[in-house]
Amino acid sequence: MGRSAAYDNYLNALSSEAAYDVGNFYGTDSSNPYSSINPNRYNYMKKKDMPGDKLYADLIRAQTRDYNQRFAPIENFMAGQITATGTKSLGADLDRTRSNMGSAVTNVQGQQNRDMGRMGLQGNSNVANSTTAVGGLVGGLNDTRLRDADRRQSLLSGSLSGISTKARSTGQ
């Protein structure tokens, strides 16, 4: 159901900040963070009262609000993921590497036993304890740690590095 003209007129009479809050409170069109801006709000103003400037200010406020609501939490989350040696994903990644090697070994051991069984032989291999499998696990775990350390570096020098520069230059 669409919004009534009276409700729109009411919102238009408010400042963009207040219109946004009212719209949010009543749950109307909250997906568009810029819907509360009324481009014609300052049409009646005299030129000496700087209507264009006021509308620009509304836009900047709406952009800042949008940034604070949608993007700042993501920046905080990403910054919070960084640890002294890597990222907080390291533990889960190590678990995944272990489980991948474990399931691969179990899988292959079964394949080998079935393969030997088809020829009437009993498989006597122990893939899990083989040097190759154990070496693969150790190598995989080391690789996981290295990848995590690399990830930390690229987060610090890549995604997050531009923010401070931009923050310092904002408003200049």
Give the footprint of other proteins on residues 85-124 (CB under 8 A).
87, 89, 92-93, 96-97, 100-105, 107-109, 111-112, 115-116, 119, 121, 124
Residue 21 C-beta: closest distance to other proteins, Å: 16
Rounded to an integer, what distance in angstroms lies between the CA atom of residue 105 and that of residue 103?
Answer: 5
Residue 58 C-beta: closest distance to other proteins, Å: 8
- Backbone φ, ψ for residue 112 (5° rounding): -65, -40
Amino acid identity of residue 170, one-letter, is T
Positions in 19-78 near other proteins (CB under 8 A): 31-35, 37, 39-40, 42-43, 47-48, 50-53, 55-56, 58-59, 62-63, 66-67, 70-72, 74-75, 77-78
Look-up of token digits 């509308």: 55
Output 7 or 66, the one with its CB closest to other proteins: 66
Output 9 or 154, the one with its CB closest to other proteins: 154
**Alpha helices by DSSP H, the chain:** 5-13, 16-25, 51-66, 72-81, 90-118, 131-154, 161-169
Q: Tokens at residue 145, please?
A: 């740690």
For the chain, helix (H) and strand (E) counts, in that order, are 7, 0
136 sits near other proteins (criterion: CB under 8 A): yes
Rounded to an integer, what distance in angstroms lies between the CA atom of residue 30 and that of residue 131?
Answer: 59
Q: How many residues bind other proteins (CB under 8 A)?
A: 77
Residue 40 C-beta: closest distance to other proteins, Å: 7
Look-up of token digits 């700087």: 50
Rounded to an integer, what distance in angstroms lies between the CA atom of residue 41 and that of residue 12?
Answer: 7
Residue 17 C-beta: closest distance to other proteins, Å: 15
Candidate list 19, 20, 23, 144; residue touching other proteins; CB under 8 A? 144
